[in-house]
Amino acid sequence: MDTVSIRGAEVRSAFSSLKLGPLTLRNRFIKAGANEGMTPDGLPTQALVKHHRDIAAGGVGMTTVAYGAVSAEGRTFHHQIHMTRETVRHLRVLTDAVHAEGAAACLQITHGGSFTLLKPARGYPRTASSGFNAFGALHGILFQRAMDEADLHRVANEFAEAAILAREAGFDAVEIHMGHGYLLNQFLSPLSNRRSDRYGGSVEARNRFPAMVLRRVKDAVGGRLAVTCKINQTDAARGGIDVQQAGVTARALERDGADLLTLSGGHNLYSPWALFGSPMPIADMQAHARGLSRIGPWVLGLQQPKNLSFRELYFLESARRIRQAVSLPLALVGGVKSLESAQRVIEEGFDAIALARVLIHDAAFVNKLADGRLVRSGCTSCNRCVMGIYDPGGVRCVLNGANDPRLSRALAAD
């Protein structure tokens, strides 16, 4: 199904193939990177393999494994993968399972910077600018330290090395996470970048370090992997990234060879609800929190807009402006829950549809759209699945049954 007729005109179908650099996807549906919580010992479990195998079998063109930290200090939580030689053979089990179902596999590679619960053995977490650490303060990490030139080159090389390991693990693509308040967003966003050197100030200067990371990764994989980036169209917070700044960043990443940009938004610290387009599960978050960290959900509840309600395609308006600014492939994330909305994304000139919650609710969502069993997801956008990142059982839809606890073990060594 390469094209469909819409209002008498033939347009690309969401089910047509898509070429991203050296990679061709069977269709334009991509499972977006979203923390699964299925790596309790920092290694993939049987549950993580099942999660992505089921989504691959359910029809997506590519599934993205979330939060592969490029180093141990790049993690936000203890229970996250960080890329090492030991990790590769475990991840190969996952990529083999995804490939057996006909989908491509992408690894999201990232670094938390100051957005971490883990205190370094010495000093403070490193990020764009020194000063008070608003997130870390709730976890006993009061300050953060600005990265110097040597830090920047070290971390850029860690991204490149993580991409090489991803290829050895069988991944077809990597996604460099530049959004949501993680390290590269900490450089891109004026909310966190107060530097006065060549890496701070103008949008172009704030782009410099993330663009360096992209170039190092591209050079390292040598055209053997698709290299994609996730960026914020907006931080959805006063003084943060707006769509005009995001357009400048998108053009810079296009010049430096990104094969796809995934257009997202929202900031983990200032506006997490913006990422989801609907209220966060404050009560669940408060029930999980301990000690000083209980302040976080309380403050979030005060900041969250009172009249916030879900609507499909909630990032579409801003994404149109970025579509006008660049010609490289773009994936739109944000509230696609129906066949009509998926096709509209393609009709509007975007190249792919990035999905998360609807696939957590029903891994076979794409196949069911394709064969007519569904025209709309049953996902309620309650966001309670988000709490699975803290649950030993991992992410699940609360409308479905619990995950099988027997699958929460690490994969057996070969």
Walk me through the domains of the chain, giving residue ranges and CATH numbers: 3-405 (3.20.20.70)
CA atoms of 59 and 105, how far apart (whole Å): 13
Say what the pLDDT of residue 414 is: 42
Which pLDDT tens digit goes with each residue over 81-100? 999 999 999 999 999 999 99
Per-residue confidence (pLDDT) for residue 413, from 0 to 100: 42
Question: In a 3-state reduction of DSSP, which class is residue 177?
Answer: strand
| Catalytic (active-site) positions | 182
DSSP structure class, residue 321: H
The model carries a pTM of 0.95
> Which letter does DSSP use for residue 72 in this model?
G
Burial call 209-230: b when 16+ CB within 10 Å, e when fewer:
bbbbbbbbbbebbeeebbbbbb
Dist. CA 37–CA 66, nearest whole Å: 9
Phi then psi for 146, rounded to 5 degrees?
A: -70, 135
90/406 Cα distance (integer angstroms): 18
218-233 pLDDT, tens digit each: 999 999 999 999 999 9
Helices 243-255 and 203-221 pack at an angle, to 10 degrees, of 30
- What tokens appear for 280 in the block? 């966060």
Residues linked to residue 18 through DSSP beta bridges, in sequence order: 25
* pLDDT value for 412: 52
- In angstroms, the CA 56 to CA 143 distance is 42
Query: CA 391, CA 360: separation in Å to the nearest integer?
Result: 15
Among 104, 233, 221, which Cα is nearest to 161's? 221
pLDDT of residue 171: 98
What DSSP string runs through 237-280? STTS--HHHHHHHHHHHHHTT-SEEEEE--BTTT-HHHHHTS--
Identify the segments of the chain with pLDDT beneath 70.
1, 3-11, 292, 412-414
Q: Which amino acid is at 385?
A: C
pLDDT at 11: 58
